[in-house]
Amino acid sequence: MQSVDVHCTWRSSIAMVYHSSFSDDDGITKACGCPLLPLKTHIKGPAPASDSDKADIVDEAITFFRANVFFKNFHVKSLADKLLIYLTSYINIALKRLESCRTLAVGTKAIINLGLENVPVPGEPGFPFPGLFTLPESEEEAELLRNYLKQIREETSGRLLNCAYRANGTPNKWWLAFAKRKFMNLVIL
């Protein structure tokens, strides 16, 4: 009987999604219901600066990616979880682009090209999660969110390259293998 209880406990703990630790929404600027969380970055944009010794949402997204990508559902507990979902999807797209790149130089070029693509906001064609964020109330709000998403995507891309490639510039198969996974059953092109 005890082995059944242990099995059930193990099974229930395996089905837990990793949520963001940024659950306090007080004092955080929002655009379209997306929190503009602080980032450790040198890239220009609307994100507030974060302490370099503290983890930010990009660190969480990369850390939790390989676990969260296995889930078909993601229960949102805070606004930061919405941003974590968006970043997990973006990391999946970036890994798909890096999958065929055999060197860090080629991978960097692919990521730069991904960063140059148009960043859609809610209500525009190509936005991956139509109900995740609210529609912009003004053009200024749409541009604020677009600029934040562009900044956070660029920062995520730079940090992801450090994971996807080893120090000698060769691909890290333990990361690139996750390009084949479908996060929340989304087919990413």
Q: What residues does 31 pair with on adjacent strands?
A: 34
H or E element at residue 176: helix 173-176
Please indicate, yes or no, if residue 78 is contained in any of the structural domains: yes
Strands 30-31 and 34-35, bridge-based pairing: antiparallel
**pLDDT tens for residues 62-96?**
998 888 887 777 778 888 889 998 999 899 999 99
61 pLDDT band, cuts 50/70/90, is: very high
User: Residue 142 belongs to a domain with what CATH number?
Assistant: 1.10.1760.10
Give the contacts of 158 (CB within 8 A, at least 6 positions apart). 43, 111
Is residue 14 situated within a structural domain?
no
pLDDT reported for residue 11: 36
Q: Does 8 fall in a domain?
A: no
Quick check: 129 and 76 in contact, CB under 8 A?
Answer: no
Q: Tell me whether residue 71 is in a domain.
A: yes
Say how many domains are in the chain. 1
Q: What is the pLDDT of residues 127-165, one digit of tens each?
A: 988 888 999 999 999 999 999 999 999 999 999 999 999
Per-residue model confidence (pLDDT) at position 1 = 36
Instruction: Please report whether residue 151 resides in a domain.
Output: yes
With respect to residue 25, please indicate whether it lies within any of the assigned structural domains. no
Q: Angle at the Cα of 61 (from 134 to 95), degrees rounded to 5? A: 100
Within-domain flag for 69: yes
List the domain range (segments joined by +) for residue 119. 56-189
Contact 186, 129 (CB under 8 A): no
17 pLDDT higher than 50 = yes
Tell me if 65 is assigned to some domain: yes
Spacing of C-alpha 116 from chain mean position:
17
Q: Is the pLDDT of residue 183 over 70?
A: no
